[in-house]
Amino acid sequence: MEPIIDGVVLAGGQSSRMGKDKTQLSLPSGMRLIDRAVLLLQTVVNGQLWISRPWNYTTPGDNDLLDIEPFEGPLSGIARAMTSSHADFLAVMAVDLPNLPMDFYQRFKPYLSPHVEAILPQSARHRQPLAGFWSTHLVSDLIGFRQMGGRKVDTFLNRHTVKWVPVPDAWLSNVNTPREWQSWLDHQERD
């Protein structure tokens, strides 16, 4: 039986280092980062798809989940989606990962198993816990972790069974500052 997969785009950050809302940045194709993230998740989600937004987001839509408290980090958005979910897995995607290939989630889907609590990418240089699949069975531990003041994603994941899947380093590049964004755009023009 095929697992039920819900999805969440993590777009609840302040974008303070960028100086403006990262979700609205336009790719060379004209598509916004937020729209690309939704498209990637739509390739695998067979349940609900949400966008995690900041607590003070002024124009929420039907698929927006607002953080309950301000500036609580990505675990807040993941927890919010998990508590709303009735799926087996949650496909998670940070909005600021413009290099993930369009078939990223399809490539990771074969690793889904009741014996693995998260399936996430790692390159030779680093791991990316905010792109991949999280078992929704983690919800009670995640809520407890957050209630005890836990905010670090890596600290939470170290308590669980994670399948780290090797990927090219370029896939995991994220953009947090105007300089990183411009460098990413310049690189796209050269390719």
Q: Angle at CA 173, nearest 5°, toward 3 and 160?
A: 40
- List of long-range contacts for 70-76, beta carbons under 8 Å, 24+ apart: 71/14, 72/146, 72/151, 73/151, 73/153, 74/10, 74/12, 74/13, 74/130, 74/153, 75/142, 75/145, 75/146, 75/150, 75/151, 75/153, 75/156, 76/12, 76/52, 76/146
Tokens at residue 18, please?
């960028």
Is 172 marked as a binding-site residue?
no
Is 11 marked as a binding-site residue?
yes
Cβ(128)–Cβ(77) under 8 Å? no
Is 73 marked as a binding-site residue?
no
Contacts of 69 (CB under 8 A, 6+ apart): 55, 76
Annotated binding-site ranges for GTP:
10-12, 67, 96
Annotated binding-site ranges for Mg(2+):
96
Annotated binding-site ranges:
10-12, 67, 96
